Amino acid sequence: MDALEILSDLENVFPYFQPIFSADEQLVIAYEVLGRYQSEGTIISLGPFFQDDQIPDEYKFEVDLILVKKALEKALKLDEDVSIYLNRNADLLMYGNGEPFLQELLEFEKKGLSLNRVVLEISDRNYEGDLDQFDHLLQYYRTYGIKISLSSIEKASHFERIAQLEPDILKINLEALKSTATGMNFNDVLFTISLLARKIGSTLLFENIEMSYQLQFAWKNGGRYYQGFYLHPPGADFIPRDFLIHRLKEKFHDFISYEKKKLEAVYLTAEFFQAKIHDLVLKYKKLGYEGLFQAIVKEMDQVTFRMYICDEDGFQKSANFFKGKEGWFLQKEYKDKNWSWRPYFLENIIKMRNERKGILSDLYSDIETGETIRTFSFPMNGNEYLFIDISYHYLFEHDQLL
């Protein structure tokens, strides 16, 4: 891309707007500003221009300033609760110590644009400058009501930056969902991001939604805001705020129905295990731990691959009864190990003790086998709790449990 050609033809630099939709209202709640340039009748993206390290920052800032002015001028016509997302990498944001850009925003504030409608979508991934100075600038902008959105956070290595910045919005790129190789890791990382977002009060925005299953994934994983070609491509003009309201209501209804069926299946499975294990424990617990395990195996050999018993403090009272390639055997080295450090362990113990019934866990990856499993926990008496790990094979055969 010829930078000098663009700089000498700024009249043909203009913004495109990609709508962002909300889950709670199913309305357009924001637009992301994207740079475009018309050359010989062809409209091309300015993304490569801004990402080219060979182009001086002052050139990029000049082009960007034109985009911001044209975009905000149009944004003055929008409803007052519609936000504008402005892309900024760290180098561009730090140009002139951030003052020229802020002054431009303040000029538009005088025209009636509340700065709490402005969202800076930032990335500091390749920034080689002083991060402390950069962070101070962001905090300075926030004093004017400007919000911060952090993009490109699909890797666990970015968690530290998320915690440091505590952005208002975390933007998740769903491009990774297209790859089956990264799918499972992506799910695990996203679960952690969603927990972190909840802790620091950030909202999740999912971008690059290009198919229905990606929208469902975003909805299921706590996404409040959605963006992508499946919903609406970028364009030169704004669209009616309720453009997708009926379609999104229908989609969400389908998603809700599907999730209800899965939750109902989990509930019924937990009830089935509760009745089955209750009867087996009453009948066979007098045989001791190994005798009880043997009795359970006769009834549930195709369901479980591991059993053990802990006290209410998490100390393992029995050996593991484990199903290997050649059948069931005892793993005595696990006796007396403590599992109270595991997430939700003590919480579940208290819940079982008070409610006097078992609990079927969420899906998780087993530390030893690496397989996706669930665990059914059952209160045998006041100080003994039976844990039955459910195999992936069983879950796969009952896919509503996955």
More confidently predicted of 188 and 111: 111
Tokens of 266: 């989990």
Instruction: Please check whether residues 372 and 281 belong to one and the same domain.
Output: yes
Instruction: Please check whether residues 253 and 305 belong to one and the same domain.
Output: no
Give residue 183's pLDDT band: very low, low, confident or very high (50, 70, 90).
Answer: low
Q: Does 141 reside within a domain?
A: yes
Give residue 140's pLDDT band: very low, low, confident or very high (50, 70, 90).
Answer: very high
Domain containing 289 — which CATH number?
Answer: 3.30.450.20
CA distance 293 to 337: 19
Structurally, how many domains does the chain consist of? 2
Q: Count Cβ atoms within 10 A of the Cβ of residue 364 and give its class: 0-12 exposed, 13-18 middle, 19 or more buried.
A: middle
pLDDT at res. 354? 94
pLDDT at 154 over 70: no
CA distance 239 to 144: 28
pTM of the model: 0.89
CA distance 386 to 167: 43
Instruction: Please check whether residues 170 and 305 belong to one and the same domain.
Output: no
Look at 24-38, 64-78, 148-162, 314-328 and tell me which has the smallest mean pLDDT. 148-162
Residue 374: alpha-carbon gap to chain centroid? 21
Instruction: Please check whether residues 185 and 285 belong to one and the same domain.
Output: no
pLDDT at 223 over 70: yes
pLDDT at res. 258? 95
Nearest to 151 by CA among 177, 125, 175, 127: 125
Contact predicate 21/248, CB 8 Å: yes
CA distance 6 to 39: 9
Mean pLDDT of 154-177: 80
Contact predicate 148/165, CB 8 Å: yes
Q: Does 236 reside within a domain?
A: no
Q: Does 268 reside within a domain?
A: no
CA distance 165 to 14: 31
- Cβ neighbours, 10 Å, residue 71: 22
Q: Does 219 reside within a domain?
A: yes
pLDDT at res. 19? 98
Mean pLDDT of 374-381: 96
pLDDT at res. 194? 84
Q: What is the DSSP string of 184-204?
A: HHHHHHHHHHHHHHHHHTPEE
pLDDT tens track for 67-77: 999 999 999 99
Give whichever of 152-161, 363-372, 389-398 has the largest mean pLDDT: 389-398
pLDDT tens track for 344-356: 899 999 999 999 9
Instruction: Please check whether residues 300 and 393 belong to one and the same domain.
Output: yes
Instruction: Please check whether residues 316 and 251 belong to one and the same domain.
Output: no
Containing H/E element for 175? none
Instruction: Please check whether residues 176 and 287 belong to one and the same domain.
Output: no
Distance set, CA 48 to CA 21, 54, 55, 84, 176 (Å):
26, 11, 10, 22, 21
More confidently predicted of 57 and 115: 115
Instruction: Please check whether residues 53 and 202 belong to one and the same domain.
Output: yes
Mean pLDDT of 150-159: 66
Distance set, CA 37 to CA 3, 15, 42, 104, 289 (Å):
11, 9, 8, 22, 74
Residue 162 CB partners (closer than 8 Å, separation 6+): 150, 153, 170, 193, 196, 200, 202
CA distance 257 to 85: 33
Nearest to 15 by CA among 52, 56, 45: 45
Q: Does 263 reside within a domain?
A: no
Mean pLDDT of 316-337: 97
Residue labelled with tokens 């790129």: 173
Q: Does 238 reside within a domain?
A: no
Which phi and psi angles does 374 have, rounded to 5°?
A: -130, 160
Q: Does 264 reside within a domain?
A: no
pLDDT at 343 over 60: yes
Q: Does 267 reside within a domain?
A: no
Contact predicate 118/174, CB 8 Å: no
Mean pLDDT of 76-103: 93
Look at 91-105, 287-301, 307-321 and tell me which has the smallest mean pLDDT. 91-105
Helix intervals (H) in 201-244: 212-220
Domain containing 115 — which CATH number?
Answer: 3.20.20.450
Instruction: Please check whether residues 333 and 203 belong to one and the same domain.
Output: no
- Calculate the average pLDDT of the chain: 92
pLDDT at 173 over 70: yes
Q: What is the DSSP string of 141-154?
A: HHTTT-EEEE----
Give residue 85's pLDDT band: very low, low, confident or very high (50, 70, 90).
Answer: very high
Nearest to 217 by CA among 391, 372, 19, 23: 23
Mean pLDDT of 364-381: 93
In the chain, the percentage of residues whose pLDDT exceeds 70 is 95
* Partners of 83 in the β-ladder: 30
Contact predicate 314/340, CB 8 Å: yes
CA distance 402 to 394: 10
Domain with 340 in it: 273-401
Instruction: Please check whether residues 29 and 82 belong to one and the same domain.
Output: yes
3-class secondary structure, 383: coil
Mean pLDDT of 137-161: 83
pLDDT at 94 over 60: yes
Residue labelled with tokens 């796969």: 396
3-class secondary structure, 370: coil
pLDDT tens track for 237-294: 999 999 999 999 999 999 999 999 999 999 999 999 999 999 999 999 999 999 999 9
Mean pLDDT of 104-128: 90
CA distance 212 to 228: 11
Instruction: Please check whether residues 142 and 214 belong to one and the same domain.
Output: yes
Nearest to 83 by CA among 119, 35, 33: 119
Instruction: Please check whether residues 340 and 199 belong to one and the same domain.
Output: no
Give the E-state strand segments of 68-195 in sequence order.
Answer: 83-89, 118-123, 147-150, 169-173
